[in-house]
Amino acid sequence: MKVLVTGGAGFIGSHLVDRLVQEGHDVVVVDNLSTGKRKNVNRAATFYKADIQSSRLERVFRNERPSVIMHLAAQMNVRRSVDDPMFDASVNILGTLNVIEQAARHGARKVVFASSGGAIYGEQDIFPAPESHPTRPLSPYGISKLSGEHYLSYYQRASGIQAVSLRFANVYGPRQDPEGEAGVVAIFIQKMLTGEQPVINGNGRQTRDFVFVEDVVEANLLVMGQGIEGVFNVGTSSETTVNELFAILKELTKSDCKEVHGPAKKGEQLRSTIDATKLRQQLGWEPKVGLSDGLRKTVEYFSGRLR
């Protein structure tokens, strides 16, 4: 089938495009290259340099007529959303609304939306959090992702388009940008390998649910199927403190850096882990890459890139 991937030059999106091409799909990529990289885009995919907020998106849909939209393009930085909520909303709310509107207008069958399990639930009452957990986002980023889910649900009711929202935990892996997309794993590895000093925000006892990018791609492929709709968590149900992550990466990179702490950041949760039981029960998804193996693969990627 023809699949359009927004953000397909980015970290998760480019991995997803590679798998879609491998599976024999006709893939179209839309990316404005603000954080994504042209070299990440599979050569077998049709590429459009376009912003999801722009009127040009309508022409892409009119020309390509995709049947499935995998919407991953986003402003992904929680801290930037706190500093500039207007920019975050323009990309993550208005941009998402433009994507869904074009999908509905041009006959797409399904939209799969990359949401956030890490940011939507806020400070949790239950660990790990199921999809039924109250949504109390602490940052504009979490608010904008939740808004995207609500708009997609509206279009599902109004136009009949099939809708899936995947609430990702903290995704990490090769191609993650230590600058543009601000993942703590990529930031720590880059600094450790180049001899810089990583700084842990706050006391480092805040926890995250780290899920490897290949497992996230597999979840995206599973929900593309006919008739599958709803909201699904994509995580490991495990908590890892930032201090624990630092120690593992220090060993893997053979770094001699010290454990240095800085001020805590606004809008960051203290504990975050999500329950993917629904995805496992309905579609048989399981995270296959453990944290140690995933971090080792990621360190190998960054080491190779620096060489």
Look up residue 138 and give its two tokens. 């602490």
Question: What stretches of the chain adopt beta strand conformation (E)?
Answer: 2-6, 26-31, 46-49, 68-71, 110-116, 162-168, 170-172, 199-201, 207-208, 210-212, 230-234, 240-241, 260-262
What CA–CA distance (Å, rounded) separates 299 from 249? Answer: 8
Please, are residues 162 and 227 in contact by the beta-carbon 8 Å criterion? yes
What CA–CA distance (Å, rounded) separates 57 from 98? Answer: 8
Domain 2-172+211-237+275-283: give its CATH superfamily: NAD(P)-binding Rossmann-like Domain (3.40.50.720)
Using CA of residue 38, residue 221, residue 143, residue 55, what is the dihedral sign? positive
pLDDT of residue 266: 74
pLDDT of residue 182: 61
Give mean pLDDT in consecutive 10-residue pieces for the chain, a chain of 307 residues.
Answer: 98 98 98 96 98 98 98 94 96 98 98 96 96 96 98 98 98 89 87 96 96 98 94 98 98 97 86 97 97 98 93
SS3 273: coil
Please, are residues 170 and 210 in contact by the beta-carbon 8 Å criterion? yes
Catalytic, 151? Answer: no
Please, are residues 225 and 284 in contact by the beta-carbon 8 Å criterion? no
Q: Which CATH architecture has domain 184-206+239-272+290-306?
A: Alpha-Beta Complex (3.90)
For residue 252, count other CB atoms closer than 10 A to its CB.
18
Spatial neighbors of 59 by CB under 8 A, at least 6 apart, are none
pLDDT of residue 268: 77
Q: In what order do the strands lie in the sheet with 2-6?
A: 46-49, 26-31, 2-6, 68-71, 110-116, 162-168, 230-234
pLDDT of residue 16: 98
pLDDT of residue 172: 97
What CA–CA distance (Å, rounded) separates 27 from 67? Answer: 11
Please, are residues 238 and 286 in contact by the beta-carbon 8 Å criterion? no
Catalytic residue among 48, 121, 141, 151: 141
pLDDT of residue 79: 87
All structural domains of the chain with their residue ranges = 2-172+211-237+275-283, 184-206+239-272+290-306
